[in-house]
A and B are shown apart, each in its own frame.
Chain A
Amino acid sequence: MQLTVDGKTYDLDVEGEMPLLWVLRDEIGIKGVKYGCGVAACGACTVHIDGEAVRSCQVAAEDVWGAVTTINGLGSPEALHAVQAAWVTHQVAQCGYCQSGQMMQAAALLAEVAAPSDSEIDEAMRGNLCRCGTYPRIRAAVKTAAKTLAEG
């Protein structure tokens, strides 16, 4: 089986039903994608497939329908994506474990809606749990990122 992840193509020998999450983490070694619940209840495992935010714990390897982008492909410490830069500015993270998923969800939202309203942010982000309670900062960071992207 072949998967394209963060711009690289991988030849993989895995069971078709292995969730993309575990293919990414254990077979390819992309640890930025996090396991929190395995049942679509937390959002920690969020990645993009063809730009759409999906829960990688819910997508079987054989069902992956396009190019996968993970938090490690969105940007890097040397070349931050606008969302990551906003997360740095607002110092959103506490333990940080949920934040990969939060940022991937936020990036997908902003790709679709350039200047989301409060209720659009609520709606898009409500599936991403943060046990540390960084929600106020996530909201602020999404708005900052929207502004940065708008200014191009």
Chain B
Amino acid sequence: MGKVKTIARRSFLIGSAAIAGGVAFGVWRYKTPYANPLEGGLRAGEAALTPYVKIDATGVTLITPRADKGQGAYHVQAALIAEELDVDLEAVKIDPGPPDRAYWNTALAPEVAEFSAPQEGFVRDALTGVLSSVMKFAGLQITGGSTTVPDGFVKLRAAGASARETLKLAAAARLGVEASALRTEAGRVIAPDGTALTYEELAADVAKMKPVQDVALRAPEGWRYLGKPMQRLDILAKSTGTQAYGIDFEIEGMAHAAVKLAPAQGGGLLSYDASAALAMRGVRGAYAVSGGVAVVADNTWRAFQAAEAVEAEWRASAMPASMEDHWAALEAAFVPSHQDSRVRDYGDVDAAMVDGALVTADYRAPYLAHAPLEPVSACVRVGEDGVDVWTGTQIPRFVQANVAKIAGVEAAQVRVHVLMMGGSFGHRLEDDVVRQAAEVAVQMRGVPVKLTYSRETDMAHDYTRQIAMAKMRGTVKDGRVEAYDLSIAMPSVVVSQMGRQGLSVPGPDSQIVAGAFEQPFAIPHHRVTGYRADPLAPLSSWRSVGASTNGFFYNLGLEELIEAAGADPLEERLRLVSDPLAKQVLEAVGEMSGWDGPRMGARRGRGVAMTRSFGVHCAEVVEVRDTDAGLVIDKVYVAAEVGRVLDPVSFENQVQGGVVFGLGHAMNCEITYENGVAEQQNFDSFEGMRLSQCPEIVVRGLENGTSVRGVGEPPVPPAAPALAAAIHAATGVRLREMPFSKFVEFAG
């Protein structure tokens, strides 16, 4: 039901610019109605080029502005350009692009527009606040919310097509033939007589020409790369240990730093004594940094050891003392004064609650760490000619601005080199590690300082996924779900996250109800209310953000009502579903799994769940077996409506990964805080799924919709509720809180 039917073709204009020795093609961005909080936006009449293609004497470079955290984003972006430009992906350079104000990511906005669709009782001004805040997010070259594909789907192809047609015009002028007689192939323009001119040869001519506009994009039937299995460009390096990540970065004269941070989140440094650390081998210095102390040494391990040896006194954290207090704070938020939004309100929910048997339940979801396998790191050098930052980040613009402030220079003097990331899941939307590295680097001018977090630091000082709680009430009538009232409470992730960047975010937070308020079910009396709890632990966006908790709550509530009605979980969803695309997704997963009810014989069962998130309907059926060794997840079937599958191998891999991520955390992961100190600081206590626990995962991408969608996040939300439903079918145990390992046992 994506509101973005198609990304309006001509909402952007292709541009080109002469560059040293050649030409760049991209899209122009003009002054926009919303302000860029860092730059104040462009002045009227000013425009900035977002370059996607660069051609000069040394060859063709495809510029892929959205970061790659492991989801193959570089590859698919390059393929989108190459599809129209007629170059071989193997023969071009791929450049992740510098943090340039022109890299605006436009696809995040429609999700917000939907939340802001006029609703009774909704404060218009507040709503505008949400809209602009998320647009600010978007304006800062953030890779998140599965937007890489929708944002680039048209723009990148259009840039490639425009460059191709302009190259043809240049060749036509040189050869004295009609451009229409020319064809392009493998980076060359070819004349009917076989004469070929390379793009490189034509670059200087093209730089003087106006780019051809309004080139019709090629139909999917004629695609060479897109929609077909492609070998990702990074696969060889990632299969041979030769891919360099941020943590592998090295440069002449580099020093290695480690930090010891206040044990409690939000605590701080009162005083420290680094004398023992400074006496250790290879240690060069110790410096106070935000949140603690940094020690600089000549290798990573020595820096880790020395950081441990620092003695310090810490300020206490403002966080509640125990987890009971955290939960109590959520419980206390279900009151009118904390109401944040009520976008969905059908029928007469309150009146419906007295009819029939009232079903009620409470649900909980814990804090979670992002914990990409590569701990965060950053190398910063403050030199005479400006500042260099080498790091794996999803927010290069913030990094640039923040480092500039620390170093006391203009943002333009900070060069951010984005390095390959060993996973993110939202972790690299934060930049503490960069700021701390910069704080040390300004005191060691000229020396590149690489700060690497230990796993323990990375996990204990992660800004976690939100803790959240939900209350469900509902009634059933004549074997059908009649009324469903879901209330959700959590602190605002967006406020916490943007607050660390010095931005305030007025108005309701769509993420408090995302994954619940926009679900495609026509229940006669239906309401979803978001309550904003007071800030607890600092939070950050975790893969699928609000939907990661709310998809769980929403599906569980529906599941319990369907059970009370005595209906079949899939049949009743199919009866209630109000969106044709969502219906096809449910039908697909039913057919794939051979659904004939939740029970599959003795000690076996299956569960179904569907969540619409990031514009994608994704349904999953999970099959569970209860064995003497514990619960075994045998199989998972996934169907997702994405408009078009651009890279089938990457698609399957990402969906499977999303399922493993959703299941693994539901099984056994939580971060709990005691006086603000995380009680899980490594993978021994925050395990996730192991290979031996991984089910077979059968994936199908549906292409019935018209908008092209990314699939990094949508498989996560339905995994946990489908697993809970399957466990119920196999064992009779109803799980209402994650992680499930608190209540049931999984086989190793």
Q: How many A residues touch B, CB cutoff 8 Å?
A: 61
Q: How many angstroms between the C-alpha atoms of A109 and B400 in the bound complex?
A: 46
Considering the chains assembled together, what is the distance between the CA atoms of A133 and B235 in angstroms? 16
Count chain B residues whose beta carbon lies closer than 8 angstroms to a beta carbon of A. 63
For residue A32, which residues in chain B have a CB less than 8 angstroms away from its CB?
A: 240-242
B657 contacts A94, CB within 8 Å?
A: yes
Check A126 for interface membership: any CB of B closer than 8 A. Answer: yes
Are A94 and B231 touching (Cβ within 8 A)?
Answer: no
* Main SS class of interface, A: loop
Q: How far is the CA of A87 from the CA of B238 in the complex (A)?
A: 9
Residue of A nearest to B647 (CB): A91
Q: Do B372 and A95 touch (CB < 8 A)?
A: yes
**Most chain B Cβ neighbours within 10 Å, of A34, A80, A91, A100:** A91
Complex contacts, B53 vs chain A, CB 8 Å: none
- Taken residue by residue from 641 to 668, chain B's Cβ proximity to chain A (1 for < 8 Å, 0 otherwise) reads as 0000000011001101111110010000
- Write the chain A residue with the least CB distance to B374: A97
Contact of B660 among A35, A125, A133 (CB under 8 A): A133
> How many Å from the CB of A149 to the closest CB on chain B?
16
- Determine if B72 is an interface residue (Cβ-Cβ < 8 Å): yes
A147 at the interface (CB under 8 A from B): no
- The answer to whether B371 and A131 have CB atoms under 8 Å apart is yes
Write the nearest CB–CB distance from B332 to chain A, whole angstroms: 34
Contact: B301 with A93, CB < 8 Å?
A: no
| Docked-complex contact A27 and B299, CB < 8 angstroms | yes
Q: Assess whether B694 is interfacial by the CB under 8 Å rule.
A: yes
Main secondary structure of the interface of B (DSSP, over half): loop
A134 within 8 A of B: yes
- Chain A residues with CB under 8 Å of B240's CB are 32, 71-72, 75-77, 80, 84
* Known A-B contacts A26-B301, A122-B691; A134 and B657 likewise in contact (beta carbons under 8 Å): yes
A22-63, CB < 8 A from B: 22, 25-27, 29, 31-39, 41-42, 44
Residues of B within 8 A of A76 (CB): 240, 242
Contact A93 B692 (CB under 8 A): no
B657 touches A133 (CB 8 A): yes
Check A130–B373 contact: CB distance below 8 A: yes
Q: Are B649 and A91 in contact (CB under 8 A)?
A: yes
Judging by beta carbons under 8 Å apart, are A137 and B691 in contact? no
CA distance A77 to B236 in the complex (A): 6
Closest to A83 in B: B239
Q: Determine whether the beta carbon of B242 is less than 8 Å from that of A77.
A: yes
Q: A91-B232, A133-B661 are in contact. Are A36 and B72 (CB under 8 A)?
A: no
Contacts of A35 in B (CB 8 A): 247, 300, 375, 455
Query: Contacts of B243 on A, CB cut-off 8 Å?
Result: 96
| Docked pose: A126 CA to B689 CA in angstroms | 9
Tell me if B374 and A34 are in contact (CB < 8 A). Answer: yes
Partner of B239, one of A26, A34, A103: A103
Task: Verify A93–B688 contact, CB threshold 8 A.
Answer: no
| B interface residues (Cβ-Cβ under 8 A, vs A) | 69-72, 231-232, 234-245, 247-248, 250, 256, 281, 299-302, 371-375, 421-425, 454-455, 649-650, 653-654, 656-661, 664, 682-684, 687-692, 694, 696-697, 748
Q: What residues make up the interface of A, taking CB atoms closer than 8 Å to B?
A: 15, 18-19, 21-22, 25-27, 29, 31-39, 41-42, 44, 70-72, 74-77, 80, 84, 87-88, 91-100, 103, 121-123, 125-139
4 closest Cβ pairs, A-B complex = A32-B241, A95-B70, A133-B660, A97-B422
